[in-house]
Amino acid sequence: MNPDVHVSRFGVIDGELRVGGMRLSLLASRMGSTPFFAYDRALLDARIDLLRSVLPTKVQLSYAMKANPMPALVQHLANRVDRIDVASALEMQVALDTVIRPGLVSFAGPGKAPAEIRQAVAAGILIEVESTTEIERVIGAGSELGVTPSVAVRVNPDFSVKGSGMRMGGGPQQFGIDAETVPDVLRTYRGAGLDIQGFHVFAGSQNLNASIIAEAQRKTVNLVATLAEHLEEPIRYLNLGGGFGIPYSQKDEPLDVDAVATNLHDLVHGEIDRLMPTATPVIELGRYLVGECGVYVTRVLDRKISRGRTYLVVDGGMHHQLAASGNFGQAIRRNYPLVVGNRVEASLGERATVVGCLCTPLDLLGDDVELPPAEIDDLIVVFQQGAYGLTASPTAFLGHPAPGEALV
Ligand SMILES: *Cc1c(COP(=O)(O)O)cnc(C)c1O
């Protein structure tokens, strides 16, 4: 995507990018040092408002916290979403500190430790079981604690979703229980002291193709309708996954969320109302909710010319933003959108390669990008940094200090 699109989403003050209502250089001085991540509340709110305005009212919105577990941001979102999805004991703790009640916190992921399971059962969290071993552990924890655990069965579907950045369903998977074995599993654990509320199908992440997402949701509804017949109680929980992507490179087209929503209206008022009227449909999103609200801000430490090529060396890099660098040398690396944040209205005047401060050629933030001529101390801003940034990067690599982080 053209960086201009992102500049206009954030806005401009005095020729600088506006983040959290401030011009960037003011934000940088308040942060005290660079590099840092900043997440813009107004953009977060706008994204939630957009989704609420197009999604059927019956569909609940869950925030998948692993995209960005910063407690302040999670607190902000907790007032605006219906549910939170967590994937570890620490994330569970952050979710339990919000206004979302425990029964609306779901816990997914393969390899939940027995201690995490006990903690989740004790707190009354909905556990999305991914294997029969986990079911046994949940039952064990329930009888030890004298409570009836709430669970949903995560299903590895009998279809896969093409076009996902990451496929997490279909074929052999570490995620979920294979769809064809679910009826037997449900029969086995009938009367075992579990409150089985429904099912969760998450087929993939970072998908920009609305018709593929729509098809996956349709197949999920049909699959769950057949599985729901094997439940003791009417189905209450129908987690359709999410996987809504955001554009990172110039080649990416934004997701047509209206088209996804139109399909959901059809499903909610069609198959879901007809076959599973007791079910609450849930869409679970991480990246799409928070990814576009965040920036990663670094400062130019050096500007050098090597055999005709201009290099801007910044004080951050792949240790804070692994994905923008190309994930340790991925086959096809594409530039993330970036700008000189204190010169967003200056005309583009040179091509420069923006590199981080790590001693590896992999530490590349922008390869031969067109920018206004930048000087030492200028602020280089990388967009689309609200999800899978800081906590998804190798911060210990080379031992530089951790970056700042703020919700503004
Ligand atoms: C990672 C994950 C998500 C969030 O995926 P995004 O692509 O960030 O929306 C949602 N649900 C489950 C089960 C996940 O593992």
CATH number of the domain within which 319 lies: 2.40.37.10
- pLDDT recorded at residue 60: 98
**Do 252 and 193 share a domain, yes or no?**
yes
Q: Among 142-156, 320-334, 350-364, 391-405, which stretch is predicted with the lowest mean pLDDT?
A: 320-334
Asked if residue 286 has its Cβ within 6 Å of ligand 1, the reply is yes
Domain boundary among 262, 285, 308: 285
Q: Which amino acid is at 120?
A: A
Residue 58 lies in a domain: no
Number of domains composing the chain: 2
Ligand 1 atom at minimal distance to the Cα of residue 166? 7
Asked if residue 284 has its Cβ within 6 Å of ligand 1, the reply is yes
Read off the pLDDT of residues 333-368 as tens digits, 9 standing for 90 and up: 899 999 999 999 999 999 999 999 999 999 999 999
Ligand 1 atom at minimal distance to the Cα of residue 154? 13
**Do 313 and 267 share a domain, yes or no?**
no
Asked if residue 202 has its Cβ within 6 Å of ligand 1, the reply is yes
376 band by pLDDT with thresholds 50, 70 and 90? very high
Asked if residue 64 has its Cβ within 6 Å of ligand 1, the reply is yes
Measured between alpha carbons, how far is residue 331 from residues 130, 246, 327 in Å? 32, 20, 9
Residue 386 lies in a domain: yes
Q: Is the pLDDT of residue 101 over 90?
A: yes
Asked if residue 157 has its Cβ within 6 Å of ligand 1, the reply is no
Query: Cβ atoms within 10 A of the Cβ of 90, count?
Result: 12
Residue 358 lies in a domain: yes
**Domain membership of residue 131 as a residue range:** 101-285
Asked if residue 288 has its Cβ within 6 Å of ligand 1, the reply is yes
Residue nearest atom 3 in ligand 1 by C-alpha distance: 64
Ligand 1 atom at minimal distance to the Cα of residue 287? 8
Asked if residue 388 has its Cβ within 6 Å of ligand 1, the reply is no
Tokens of 258: 């209206």
Asked if 34 and 370 count as a contact pair (C-beta separation under 8 A), the reply is no
166 band by pLDDT with thresholds 50, 70 and 90? low
**Do 135 and 243 share a domain, yes or no?**
yes
**Do 261 and 120 share a domain, yes or no?**
yes
**Do 112 and 259 share a domain, yes or no?**
yes
Residue 355 lies in a domain: yes
Residue 56 lies in a domain: no
**Do 140 and 276 share a domain, yes or no?**
yes
Q: Is the pLDDT of residue 393 over 70?
A: yes
Task: Give the H or E element holding residue 387.
Answer: none
Asked if residue 67 has its Cβ within 6 Å of ligand 1, the reply is yes
- pLDDT recorded at residue 165: 66
Beta-bridge partners for 23:
18
Centre of ligand 1 to C-alpha 284, Å, is 7
Asked if residue 325 has its Cβ within 6 Å of ligand 1, the reply is no
Domain boundary among 243, 267, 285: 285
**Do 196 and 137 share a domain, yes or no?**
yes
Burial of 257 (0-12, 13-18, 19+ CB in 10 A): middle
Domain boundary among 230, 257, 285: 285
Residue nearest atom 7 in ligand 1 by C-alpha distance: 205
- pLDDT recorded at residue 1: 52
**Do 107 and 216 share a domain, yes or no?**
yes
Ligand 1 atom at minimal distance to the Cα of residue 67? 8
Using CA atoms of 242, 248, 250, 254 in order, give the dihedral in degrees to the nearest 10. 30
Tokens of 173: 């998977």
Centre of ligand 1 to C-alpha 254, Å, is 18
Q: Is the pLDDT of residue 34 over 60?
A: yes
Centre of ligand 1 to C-alpha 241, Å, is 7
Centre of ligand 1 to C-alpha 19, Å, is 26
**Do 346 and 280 share a domain, yes or no?**
no
**Do 245 and 333 share a domain, yes or no?**
no
- pLDDT recorded at residue 47: 98
Measured between alpha carbons, how far is residue 399 from residues 86, 319, 357, 390, 403 in Å? 29, 9, 11, 15, 12
**Do 25 and 131 share a domain, yes or no?**
no
**Do 157 and 220 share a domain, yes or no?**
yes
Q: What is the CATH number of the domain that holds 234?
A: 3.20.20.10
Residue 67 lies in a domain: no
Asked if residue 152 has its Cβ within 6 Å of ligand 1, the reply is no
Residue 323 lies in a domain: yes
Centre of ligand 1 to C-alpha 138, Å, is 23
Residue 48 lies in a domain: no
